[in-house]
Amino acid sequence: MVLKLEHSHQLIIDNVSRFIDLTELEKQKYISLLTEVKVKKKAFLMQAGEIARYEYFITKGCLKVYTLNEDGVPHISMFAVEDYWTGDMASFMTKEPSRYFIKATEDSELLGISRANYELLFQEIPKFERFYRILYQKSLISYIRRSNQGISLTAEERYIEFKTKYPNIVHRITQKDLAGYIGITPEFMSKIISKVNRM
Amino acid sequence: MVLKLEHSHQLIIDNVSRFIDLTELEKQKYISLLTEVKVKKKAFLMQAGEIARYEYFITKGCLKVYTLNEDGVPHISMFAVEDYWTGDMASFMTKEPSRYFIKATEDSELLGISRANYELLFQEIPKFERFYRILYQKSLISYIRRSNQGISLTAEERYIEFKTKYPNIVHRITQKDLAGYIGITPEFMSKIISKVNRM
DNA sequence: GAAAAAAAATGAAGTAGTTTAAGACTTTTA
DNA sequence: TAAAAGTCTTAAACTACTTCATTTTTTTTC
């Protein structure tokens, strides 16, 4: 018996099913461990100082994950859109206060899993160890690449790389936020963009 | 019956046992899937263009993992010493040619697991999905942090961060290699070090 | 243990990216 | 729909870092 799932649940099941196969019963069980969350544009999903109680899967919208340096300048570590996972894994795992803010840049909808349900998930459906092993492995590969590019490419090269890699994200965010991701000032971002467009 | 293991095997079993519990039989099975490798100082464990056939655990020595940019300038992505894991996970997983070199900076000894044995390991001892899930999760946390620091800190701040975080590595490597890791020229590294020492 | 090779230090001139400030344009809010 | 707030552009002066060239020091090699 295959039950019809609502859209957001279908999305997360499809995402998980890329790496592991679930029975209908396991799908129902998994979905029962998730919490639906809505965040309006400009609202915070999480703020620095809080403990990250959930890890999130985005079913709609766009969010930015960032820290503030001692001068209050934001440094954006990721933009998360539909079909992405986000959160502060360090705080989620250690239960120490987070240094990150997560703010919606569009009205967004997410599915969250709490720390308790995350542990329960591994007990009830051990295959999820495999799912997360592969998910983290793939994330690790792209973060290793990004941390290399951060030190080896110029700002202009990083911008071109971002545009090429995320053509679907680049037009959904402000130049200012993109500057915060690339690691430069909005003024210099503006110069780079007009230069690259002229080329 | 608890068998006595040789030193290198004891090290890797201790490493794995931080996250999962293994029976004596499982330990023997695991060890049987590993290959011992020795690399002399200045020798390559792996070179760009090759497919990464193994992931490695270091039992002795020190190695640097790096790429060369189009001008032939090395960018070091990690230094790996005893009790660390290393390799090129992207190439190991996709079987595409690697862009990385791994070179020993001291005479080194490693235990490697081949791609076939890595898959076999999950079939034979599914708990290893959990081990790698946790290992990758922890690595991910530190790479996320590093990729943020790469864009938000000055070279001097990154140097101080490295020295504080890896006091046991900083004196084992050359200033030139450290420059390649921090993402600056050896000349500027030299200036930073003499400045920081004067403070 | 001498010669060669590589690493480190220093300095002068150049470039990538920042800072500050001000005006134009766009989006949000009441 | 007007005012306010935020974003984008441009430019001049500044700083972090690079480049190139030379000398000194350390490490490697035979």
Summary mean pLDDT of chain A: 94
* Averaged pLDDT, B166-187: 96
> In Å, what is the separation between the CA of A42 and the C1' of D3?
21
User: Which tokens go with A136?
Assistant: 């983290």
Whether A144 sits inside 8 A of B89 (CB atoms) is: yes
Nearest chain B alpha carbon to A71:
B152
pLDDT for B19-68, tens place per residue?
Answer: 999 999 999 999 999 999 999 999 999 999 999 999 999 999 999 999 99
**DSSP single-letter state for residue A153:** S
Residue ranges of A 93-112 with Cβ closer than 8 A to chain B: 93
Chain C bases under 7 Å from protein CB?
Answer: 7-12, 16-21, 28-29
Residue B198 pLDDT exceeds 90: no
Residue of A91, A118, A121, A151 to mutate, testing the B interface (most B Cβ within 10 Å of its Cβ): A151
Residue B4 predicted with pLDDT over 90:
no
Specify the CATH number for B7-126; select among 1.10.357.20, 2.60.120.10, 3.90.1650.10, 3.40.640.10: 2.60.120.10
pLDDT tens figures, A117-174:
999 999 999 999 999 999 999 999 999 998 888 888 999 999 999 999 999 999 999 9
How close, in Å, is residue B114 to chain A by CA atoms?
17
Closest CA to A36 of A101, A120, A122, A108: A108
Provide the pLDDT for residue A72.
87
CA B110 – CA B112 distance, rounded (Å): 6
Q: Quick one: tokens of B48? A: 């760009």
- How far is residue B110's CA from residue B35's CA, in Å, rounded to a whole number? 8
Work out the angle between the directed axes of helices B175-182 and B155-165 (0-180°, nearest 10).
110
Backbone φ and ψ for A80, nearest 5 degrees, come out as -120, 125
What residues 155-184 of chain A have any CB closer than 8 A to a CB of chain B?
Answer: 182-183
Contact between B144 and A75 using a beta-carbon 8 Å cutoff:
no
Contact with chain A for residue B119, Cβ under 8 A: no
For helices B186-198 and B155-165, the axis angle rounded to 10 degrees is 70
Q: Indicate the domain borders of chain B.
A: 7-126
How confident is the model over B70-83, as pLDDT tens digits? 888 999 999 999 99
Task: Give the pLDDT band of residue B1 (cuts 50, 70, 90).
Answer: low
Q: Reduce the secondary structure of A5-45 to three states and give it as a string.
A: CCHHHHHHHHHHHCCCCCCHHHHHHHHHCEEEEEECCCCEE
* The domain defined by A7-125 carries CATH number 3.30.465.10: no
